Structure 1
């Protein structure tokens, strides 16, 4: 295999492992709030502003169908609601309810504690470099059509 092929494989396998590790941490942080990591991800996408399902999917790197399923569950459980979308008649906007915001707020203390531990382990400068590198990698994949 070429060096570039080996680098791509290493990056992909590292990203898959990292994704699994972050999902495990997210599940542990979300559990006491009565939500899953996926619910937290979708609710987190709409905390600042309501978004259509397709917009959430793009922002979070998820499939539209997966987001739709989670959004419907969040609405069913009273953690989010659909609102009319002035820009598109059929693509309603999802926004958190007060109960949804309260669930996310219950995650914040554990999130902060874990963030402090992780940054303490890496050091703030290395954590910033990791973030910048991940952002550069993601932007490169976007420019290349996400690998296609």
Structure 2
């Protein structure tokens, strides 16, 4: 069986992708540790952030789409957040069954507390990296994400 060889760019991108997978796992573990005292995990924190970043309250399916995540997983975490009083469901005037997810006052307090923990942590992580290097990596990841979203692969 003939195997198509990777181009030099394909080879470099494969190494980059493998490093991204490793970094993602390490970031999730570090995030879990960082916000554990607040009763959060990286996944819960990420969903709170998606709710905060949304221009208006959104249903779970939209939050999942914006995160590039599985709707069922997001629904499970949102249900946990609701049980813990960090989010609430509101009636969606455009869709009877797809309730809107909103942050409660307690949810806002916990999210803001996570941000206060994140600032010194991320500043330390960025130490020694130039803004230009970070922006270049951000552009590369953004381009990859765009290509994956456009192909239906991500």
Match of 1:17 in 2: 22
The Cα RMSD (Å) is: 1.8
Give the conservation status (yes or no) of the 8 Å contact 1:33–1:107.
yes
Q: Kindly provide the CA deviation profile for residues 16-45 of structure 1, in whole angstroms up to 9, marking residues without a partner as x.
A: 112112212211221122211111111111
Please state if 1:138 is matched with 2:117. Answer: no
Gaps of 5+ in 2: none
Secondary structure of the structure 2 residue equivalent to 1:94:
strand
Gaps of 5+ in 1: none
Q: How many aligned residue pairs are there?
A: 147
Question: Highest Rg: 1 or 2?
Answer: 2
Residue 96 of structure 1 deviates from its aligned partner by 0.9
Please state if 1:66 is matched with 2:100. Answer: no
Match of 1:115 among 97, 119, 122: 122
TM-score (norm 2): 0.86
Give distance in 1, aligned partners of 2:151 and 2:95.
29
Give distance in 1, aligned partners of 2:137 and 2:35.
24
Residue 132 of structure 1 deviates from its aligned partner by 1.2
